[in-house]
Amino acid sequence: MTNWLPKDFWTRNETLVAGVIVLFCVIATISDPRFFTITTVSDLLRAAIVIGILAVGAMLVLVSGGIDVSFTAIAVFAMYSSTVLFLAIWPDAPWPLIFAVSVGFGALLGAFNGFFIAFLGLPTLIVTLGTLSIFRGFLLTFIGSQRISDLPPSMRDFSRGVLARGTTEAGNFYSIPWAALALLGVIVLTWVMLKKTMLGRSIYAIGGSVESARRIGINVKWTQFFVYVYVGALAGLAGIIHGSVGRMADPFSLVGLELSVIAAVVLGGARLIGGYGTLTGTMLGVALIVIVQNSLIVVGIPTTWQSVTIGILILLGTGVPAYRAKRAAARAG
Amino acid sequence: MTTRISTRDVTTAPEFRLLVIAVFVFGLMAVLSPERFLSTQNLTSMAFQFPEFAILALAMTIAMMTGGIDLSVVGVANLSAVVAAIILTQYSNADMPASQSAIWLAIAIAAALCIGATAGLVNGALVAFFGLPPILATLGSGLVFTGFAIAMTGGSAVMGFPSTVALIGNATLFGIPVPLILFAVLAVVLHLILTRTAFGLRVTMYGANPLAALYAAIDINRMLLKVYVIAGLFSSIAGLIVMSRANSAKADYGSSYLLLAVLIAVLGGVNPYGGYGRVIGVVLAVLSMQFLSSGLNMLQVSNFARELIWGALLILVMVINTHAVTALRGSFRPKT
Amino acid sequence: MSPDHDTAFVDLRAITKRYAGVTALDSVDFTVQPGEAVCLAGENGSGKSTLIKIISGVEPATAGTIRIAGQDRPYLNPRISAAAGVMVIFQDFSLFPNLSVAENIAFATQLSTHQRFFKAKAVRDIASAALDRIGVRIDLDARVETLPVAQKQLVAICRALASRAQLIIMDEPTTALTEKEVRRLQGIIRMLKDEGVAVIFVSHKLGEVLAVSEKVVVLRNGKKVAEGPASEFDTQSLTYHMTGRDVPEVPPSDVTPGAETLMQVKGLTKAGSFADISFDLMAGEVLGITGLLGCGRTSVAKALFGLVSPDAGSITVAGRPVPLGDPQAASLARIGYVPEDRLTEGLFLSQSILRNVAVGRLDAHSSGGFLDMTRLADEAADWLRRLKVKTPDVNAPVQSLSGGNQQRVALARWLSRAPRVLLLNGPSVGVDVGSKADIHDIIRDLARQGIGIIVISDDLPELLSTCHRILVMREGRIIDALDGKSLTEDDLAHRLAS
């Protein structure tokens, strides 16, 4: 008996995704021994930071029973407008301040979503589709549509900061930027909130049954509102990190990524009906998507097939459990 | 089966409100800039512009009627267009006699429609047989379709068509632009399907309550397959129009059309949870959008600002249609 | 003030509630003593749900005074009411399927004590204390979605107890329980009463809860029409008070001798739900299938209509085999199925009354792909008239109808298809007593016209007043085939429970 494993271990999405990742790595290492090195790992980690932070937010929304497609627009809005703001008033501001303002902008836009969803009760997909274009349209019309590569110096300092860097004896170069700490911080903070606070449990409860949550006295509206504010704040953080690390405030970046991020979260086992989703699963999903986006070529699949691969992964990752559930329901009669 | 619609119902219907809006926007634009907005040139150019996304909105409408959504419409449109374009560029060229290139055009159209139907079949099968939520099924399949288009073209545009291709998107028939005729025909067809056929009523009933549809012995799987095949076919027709108007095909054309299609369907009063929707509403929504868009164009409002306006409009319409304001007021009082 | 009122946990005086001109409650007095169990009976629309909503603070009363736990409550909301110890267990239990048993039990407590942090250990302690109190063992870490219905109810009761309930209001507590589970519930209720916890049962089916109740209160049209010790009431007198009239049930007339065999079911088996189900159904016969919840009766009914695929066996209608596991095939063989849960399975609530009937006849009025709308609508309207559906407007959504009328709409859909065999699962669930008798009349009438009818129900009087034969199921098998005419309710109850 393997009591230390959860009962549904073998049927969980997490297990499936982890399996695919391992399989991918094995094949990749066989076809190109250079794949499995610290260089690749640190490259992939760097690529995963922004997507990872966004995915944590997207997961939270799915757990609460909604779906958000506007977070990329929030991220780019918060990043670009805080950059523009500081370039105008205080170009030498320290980066933590710029980051805080970006996070604040994000939270504000999240509150905009939250108002329509929590207090007006509108369908989340439609609202966030709408705000996606509102945020983007507003940004490009009123704030600016030019790429800015002349960022406040402190942002560039941030992008140079590394936790570790070096070259292994085999000559593999690696570096892990400060931004990795941000992802870690977001994960830890969200984990504590989801597992250890009543607020977090309330989010799961609402995802499980809104009506029941209302009946036992959970403040459903404010909890939902909080979810969108929190997601907005995370998007603001992800956006400014994206801008700093890329050393460019590009108002056209990030938007378009939302479906890949949601794909990562759904692959990790979060369900659209709400109430289900784990950070472990989300991070595994992010890892898989990042690997597919960056290393497909290593296993001999041309980069032009990236979209197809991700699409098929989504269909398999969500289709297999859905089909299994359908069969189980039919069997139960 | 609303056999008799009394006059009282007409004015309270959301479609009536849309008619008022369409007339109002038209009137407003005509007053603001009569010589330009009402010019033949502007009216014709509007008639060429909107059918492509309007047809995508029709595809979205039928998917939404079942409580689903089709996020793959743009992917299907582009994949169909790319396949047609590859056939056209491989087997025909500008020097070919018109009769010969017309045959190749017919083959290319047939191939595009096949792609649309097949894509719809895939979506329908994912939703019906595998029980995937439509959002995920069409999100995933949309990536796959777009991905195939990228893989086939390497991401660049396919161009160099014989001049006959312009027939679909740029020609007129009796002075009426061909795309407009295509849209009108498809709108009438969809209207008849939804209101005058057993299949259409089943779609509405299923959208209202899927479980009750199962217990009413409705063949749900078959119905869903048909719904997504129709959506796929409509998408591929839209793709062909885009191809003809742009005189090229590319995997990422019209990426903003997805939002626009959802917006028009919702604006047209289609219930995103399923069970309600009328083609006339969608048509009126398309017209209002196009009048507004064209008017904004004349006022030299940028594309970005237009995106902002679309988004705001989408939310505004949802607020009005769902009586959300009463819900808000109600939330500060005990429910009755 | 009488001593009765002084000691009462809940004391409502002259409560009136009006909604937009409709008087839902008209000057009703209502008291519950600590440790007392009260049956609150009444038909749908009698005002019993409104009364519960007022006690639990969901709705304010228009007039009257409310005292709970010795305090006047001029202003009440669900939180205040819950803090005073009033807990409502809704019919659907209002649990969180995705959370663990422990969390479900302790969530409300944690909320009410304004905890900010979630302490897993405290939650487990609260939950296991509540389970111990009623002497039940359920895995604390199990997800609630994996539990059977009876255990979900126990979790809901534990949640109320964990929140220091002084009064537990149970909405239709026994509808989903088997006889054995009802007995366990009765034991738990007795124990709670000994500890001073009061209970209000809100129910249509009162037989099971009368045994553990002290007092019965009957509402009709918003007025209290009867109140007294439970020992003075029985099912019949309750029915009388609830409807204001005696509803004599006519026993079914005989099946025409020599009637043809309509439906033959042989060896129908599905692993884990039912096994070796065989019976014949004659034209004009009403066959009852009964058994406790979980005995497989609903699965058999669904299998007969193709909604469940059996592993083995055969069904023939008028000598022709019906393909298994295919609702379309069943409906082509002219089998009709009216499901138990009208609201989610039976009707398209937002759609018009007319459409709800017509959806059954789409193919019949379809030629060359197009529908003959006039004929379709006329036929549906005709069926609505025949079944005496009371409505001012057939284009109104079906949700505007009362339960009894809704059931008639569901029946009309299938009758318009001229069924040979009609399966009725719980034909009078959630229907008020008056309409119930009407529905039974319709069933008897249909049988006289030669339709074979199968009534799947656990409502014993209903079975006795409609069925010629009754099959009793247990653990997925038919254990008895009884003659409806020579049977009494006690006999049948005994066969079910034994």
C286-291 and C215-220 strand pairing: unpaired
- Shared domain for C70 and C193, answered yes or no, is yes
Q: Is residue A326 less than 8 Å (CB to CB) from chain B?
A: yes
List the single residue in B with minimal CA-CA distance to C362: B198
- Shared domain for C59 and C123, answered yes or no, is yes
Q: Which amino acid is at B234?
A: F
Q: Is residue B308 less than 8 Å (CB to CB) from chain A?
A: yes
| Residue among A67, A120, A326 with most chain B CBs within 10 A, to mutate | A120
Considering the domain boundaries, does residue C250 fall inside one?
Answer: no
Q: With 0-12 CB in 10 A as exposed, 13-18 as middle and 19+ as buried, what is B305?
A: middle
Quick one: pLDDT at residue B54? 93
What would the DSSP string read from start to end of B250-275? -TTTTTTHHHHHHHHHHHTT--TTSS
Plot region of B274 (φ>0 → left; ψ -120 to 50 → alpha; else → beta): left
CATH of the domain at C199: 3.40.50.300
> What is the Cα–Cα distance from A151 to A243, expressed in whole angstroms?
9
> What is the Cα–Cα distance from B69 to B263, expressed in whole angstroms?
12
**Cβ contact (<8 Å) for C99 and A199?**
no
C193-209 pLDDT, tens digit per residue, is 888 889 998 876 666 67
> What is the Cα–Cα distance from A262 to B136, expressed in whole angstroms?
9
Contact C38, C217 (CB under 8 A): yes
Q: Is residue B302 less than 8 Å (CB to CB) from chain A?
A: yes
**Cβ contact (<8 Å) for B197 and C371?**
yes
Considering the domain boundaries, does residue A330 fall inside one?
Answer: no
Which chain A residues touch C307 with a CB distance below 8 Å? 333
Closest Cβ opposite residue B1 in set C330, C350, C355: C355
Which residues touch A112 (CB under 8 Å, ≥6 apart)?
A131
DSSP bridge partners of C89:
C170
**Does B332 have pLDDT greater than 50?**
no
Alpha-carbon radius of gyration of chain B? 21
C265-302 pLDDT, tens digit per residue, is 999 998 878 888 999 998 888 999 988 766 788 889 98
A124-174 pLDDT, tens digit per residue, is 988 998 999 899 999 998 988 888 888 888 888 888 877 777 777 777 777
State the architecture of B43-320 in CATH terms: Orthogonal Bundle (1.10)
DSSP letter (8 states) at residue C100 = B
Quick one: pLDDT at residue A41? 82
Closest Cβ opposite residue C331 in set B2, B204, B217: B217
C329-345 pLDDT, tens digit per residue, is 998 889 999 988 888 88
Closest Cβ opposite residue C350 in set B197, B216, B275: B275
Q: Is residue A282 less than 8 Å (CB to CB) from chain B?
A: no
Helices B51-65 and B198-208 sit at what angle, rounded to 10 degrees? 70
Q: CB pairs below 8 Å between B and C: how many? A: 91
**Does B5 have pLDDT greater than 80?**
no
CATH of the domain at A264: 1.10.3470
Closest Cβ opposite residue A212 in set C94, C117, C272: C94
Which residues 57-86 of C are in CB contact (within 8 Å) with B? 58-60, 77
**Cβ contact (<8 Å) for A129 and B259?**
yes
> What is the Cα–Cα distance from B144 to A313, expressed in whole angstroms?
10
Is C472 in a helix, a strand, or coil?
strand
Across A243-252, C237-246, C484-493, least confident range: C237-246
Plot region of B209 (φ>0 → left; ψ -120 to 50 → alpha; else → beta): beta
Closest Cβ opposite residue C98 in set A199, A217, A275: A275
Is C94 in a helix, a strand, or coil?
coil
Is C451 in a helix, a strand, or coil?
coil
- Nearest Cα neighbor of C256 from C464, C448, C443 is C448
Which chain A residues touch B139 with a CB distance below 8 Å? 259, 262-263, 314
In Å, how far is C326's CA from the nearest CA of chain B? 9
C335-338 and C421-425 strand pairing: parallel
**Cβ contact (<8 Å) for B209 and C344?**
yes
Closest Cβ opposite residue C373 in set B3, B204, B336: B3
Q: What percent of chain B has pLDDT over 90?
A: 31
State the total domains in chain C: 2
pLDDT (mean) for A235-264:
88
- Shared domain for C88 and C185, answered yes or no, is yes
State the total domains in chain A: 1
**Cβ contact (<8 Å) for C94 and A215?**
yes
Quick one: pLDDT at residue C222? 83
Q: Which helix (H) or strand (E) holds B128?
A: helix B98-128
CB atoms within 10 A of CB C13: 15
- Shared domain for C341 and C433, answered yes or no, is yes
Quick one: pLDDT at residue A7? 62
In Å, how far is A274's CA from the nearest CA of chain C? 9
- Shared domain for C32 and C155, answered yes or no, is yes
List the single residue in B with minimal CA-CA distance to A120: B324
**Cβ contact (<8 Å) for C117 and A198?**
yes
Quick one: pLDDT at residue A205? 93
Q: Is residue A323 less than 8 Å (CB to CB) from chain B?
A: yes
DSSP bridge partners of C282:
C261
Closest Cβ opposite residue B205 in set C328, C330, C348: C348
> What is the Cα–Cα distance from B231 to B69, expressed in whole angstroms?
10
pLDDT (mean) for C462-484:
86
Quick one: pLDDT at residue B323? 63
Alpha-carbon radius of gyration of chain A? 20
**Does B328 have pLDDT greater than 60?**
no
Q: What percent of chain B has pLDDT over 70?
A: 92
CA atoms within 13 A on the CB side of A306: 16
Q: Is residue C371 less than 8 Å (CB to CB) from chain B?
A: yes
**Cβ contact (<8 Å) for B144 and A307?**
yes
pLDDT (mean) for B69-95:
88
Helices A198-208 and C101-112 sit at what angle, rounded to 10 degrees? 120
**Cβ contact (<8 Å) for C96 and A195?**
no
Alpha helices in chain A (DSSP H): 13-31, 38-63, 71-89, 95-114, 124-138, 153-160, 179-196, 198-208, 210-215, 220-246, 258-267, 279-295, 306-332
- Nearest Cα neighbor of C144 from A208, A216, A68, B132 is A208
Quick one: pLDDT at residue A228? 96
| Residue A47 pLDDT class (50, 70, 90 cuts) | confident
Which chain A residues touch B307 with a CB distance below 8 Å? 133, 136-137, 140
Contact C389, C401 (CB under 8 A): yes
Considering the domain boundaries, does residue C252 fall inside one?
Answer: no
Q: Is residue C354 less than 8 Å (CB to CB) from chain B?
A: yes
C61-113 pLDDT, tens digit per residue, is 888 999 988 888 888 887 788 888 888 888 778 889 889 999 999 888 888 77
Is B72 in a helix, a strand, or coil?
coil
- Shared domain for C384 and C235, answered yes or no, is no
List the single residue in C with minimal CA-CA distance to A274: C98
Contact A318, A266 (CB under 8 A): yes
Considering the domain boundaries, does residue A329 fall inside one?
Answer: no
Considering the domain boundaries, does residue C164 fall inside one?
Answer: yes
Considering the domain boundaries, does residue C125 fall inside one?
Answer: yes
**Does A50 have pLDDT greater than 60?**
yes
| Residue among B6, B215, B270, B333 with most chain C CBs within 10 A, to mutate | B215
Helices A13-31 and A279-295 sit at what angle, rounded to 10 degrees? 30
Q: Which amino acid is at B217?
A: A
In Å, how far is C140's CA from the nearest CA of chain A? 14
Which chain B residues touch C19 with a CB distance below 8 Å? 336
Quick one: pLDDT at residue C429? 74
The larger pLDDT score, comparing residue A39 to residue A54, is at A54
Which pair of structure tokens corresponds to residue C445? 């009438």
Which chain C residues touch B191 with a CB distance below 8 Å? none
Considering the domain boundaries, does residue C7 fall inside one?
Answer: yes
**Does B38 have pLDDT greater than 50?**
yes
List the single residue in A with minimal CA-CA distance to B262: A126
> What is the Cα–Cα distance from A320 to A276, expressed in whole angstroms?
16
Can you say whether the dihedral through the CA atoms of B121, B123, B124, B130 is positive or negative? positive
> What is the Cα–Cα distance from C199 to C32, expressed in whole angstroms?
8
C37-41 and C215-220 strand pairing: parallel
List the single residue in A with minimal CA-CA distance to B314: A130
- Shared domain for C357 and C326, answered yes or no, is yes
Which chain C residues touch B4 with a CB distance below 8 Å? 395
- Report the mean per-residue pLDDT for chain C: 83
Which chain C residues touch B276 with a CB distance below 8 Å? 350
Q: What percent of chain A has pLDDT over 70?
A: 95
Of B71-85, B151-165, C169-183, highest mean pLDDT: B71-85
Domain residue limits at C360: 261-497
The interface pTM score, or ipTM, of the predicted complex is: 0.83
Which chain C residues touch B218 with a CB distance below 8 Å? 359
**Cβ contact (<8 Å) for C307 and B205?**
no
Subunits close to B (at least 3 CB pairs below 8 A): A, C
**Cβ contact (<8 Å) for A333 and C303?**
yes
Is A249 in a helix, a strand, or coil?
strand
Between the CA of residue B163 and those of B78, B113, B178, C85, C330, what are the distances in Å? Answer: 20, 21, 15, 81, 56
Domain residue limits at A197: 9-323
Closest Cβ opposite residue B3 in set C58, C339, C377: C377
B262-275 pLDDT, tens digit per residue, is 888 988 888 888 88
**Cβ contact (<8 Å) for B266 and A319?**
no
DSSP letter (8 states) at residue A141 = I
In Å, how far is A130's CA from the nearest CA of chain C? 27
Which chain B residues touch C353 with a CB distance below 8 Å? none
Closest Cβ opposite residue B215 in set C345, C352, C354: C345
- Shared domain for C20 and C146, answered yes or no, is yes
C351-392 pLDDT, tens digit per residue, is 888 888 888 888 778 777 788 888 888 888 888 888 888 777
Can you say whether the dihedral through the CA atoms of B301, B304, B307, B313 is positive or negative? negative
DSSP bridge partners of C290:
C472
List the single residue in A with minimal CA-CA distance to B324: A120
**Cβ contact (<8 Å) for C348 and B219?**
no
**Does C252 have pLDDT greater than 80?**
no
Across A32-36, B109-113, B156-160, least confident range: A32-36
| Residue among C350, C361, C372, C414 with most chain B CBs within 10 A, to mutate | C350
